[in-house]
Amino acid sequence: MDSCTTNYAVAQASDAAAVVRDETITSVMDVQAGCRWLAELPIPPFQQHRILRGGHLQTLIGARMGHTDHVGDAVHRCHSIELADGDTLVAHDDEPQNWTPAKGSVLLLHGICGCHSAGYMVRFQRRLNEHGIRTFRLDMRGCGDSAPLCRSITHAGRSEDVLAAIEFIARLVDDVSSPIGALGVSLGANQLLLAAGRVGSGKHTAPVGWDRVGPLLAIAPPMDLQLCSDAMESAKLRFYNWYFIKHLLRRASAPLRERDDYQAMLRLPKPKTLRQFDRQFTAPLAGFDNERDYYRASSAVSVAADIAVPTLIVTSADDPLVPVRSFTTLADRLAQRTQQGTAPKAAGLHHGAVRVHISAAGGHHGFMQRDRTGWTDELVSDFYGSAFASSPARSLTAASDVG
């Protein structure tokens, strides 16, 4: 405890309407001195568009922001990542001109309806490439270019797939001084946090290259799946249920459609809510007993306090899909562990390294600003530009930095 600097400041944020407009609600820290750059990283408040205000409008416009075509002068390659069960992921590798391993790489993970070509994935790729950082946009199981290569589906609990991708990057960029960051949006953010938390708690074996990993950035993660499912039952979110179910059924890969169990599921009445979809499709296809078992096992909130890699979690209080309560619950858990001195210890980390930043507005990864730019676009480039410039990955967890 003596060698650690802890800063914990949280406002009661269960009611988004009670916060000051366009201001940060809370920025929670549970960090040690070795990650001081994370504690001191300035995060400017989100100034939402004057007309496109409110969680729903921000969410909807955010889904339409950005280009879906690859742009820039980076060298583009595709890599296949073979998984233990026979499925294959596809990683889209964009290497900037004059890139060197010291400049680092970032793994990008998409949301439930996304893939490598989602607008935000391409925007983040461009931003990072402009800063000289190499990016790997991953197509998770059944998504994008991985669709014809997978009989299984992606879901919130696929932490082992994230670790497989990280190990692939570490082996491809075989340089111990080359940092590996990872960024997830929505479902991909939960997968990322779950992976880091499971490694931190010992539930997963750290993959090759894990000592080079950091920092992590999770945007709008549905960390408490049961809480999110409860919220989605509201009649006000009927459109979102319809949209997700329509997309997920349409996206089913050819190998998945060939499965007898999937065909049997299609013969049942069509689900009307995401909870019904998870009960009928997600849980049984992924090997869970039911949707409650899936939610319990796959929620990152259960292990997020065990993360021992510098991590920034960003969300908004008016996100219509992810209740802010799951983040204030995590903040309380981080504070309790810090006070008790039971936060994870690993490679010089005497306490966890998680910062939770809750904006008063922004919707579900909408964040369109008054100048019509994306707030998270700037955050992503500033975050990794600062992290990789301050120290390579190995020094982020070096004992010599503590104290």
Q: 350: which 2 tokens?
A: 């005497």
* Burial degree of 325 (CB within 10 A; 0-12, 13-18, 19+): middle
Cα(302)–Cα(284) distance, integer angstroms: 22
Strand 134-139 to 213-219 pairing: unpaired
Q: Strands of 61-170 (E only): list them.
A: 75-82, 88-95, 105-109, 134-139
Cα(216)–Cα(48) distance, integer angstroms: 25
Decide if 316 contacts 220 (C-beta within 8 A): yes
Instruction: Name the nearest CA neighbour of 133 among 384, 390, 392, 393.
Output: 384
Cα(174)–Cα(165) distance, integer angstroms: 14
Catalytic residue ranges: 186, 319, 364
Q: Is the dihedral of CA 212, 365, 141, 159 positive or negative?
A: positive
Cα(380)–Cα(127) distance, integer angstroms: 8
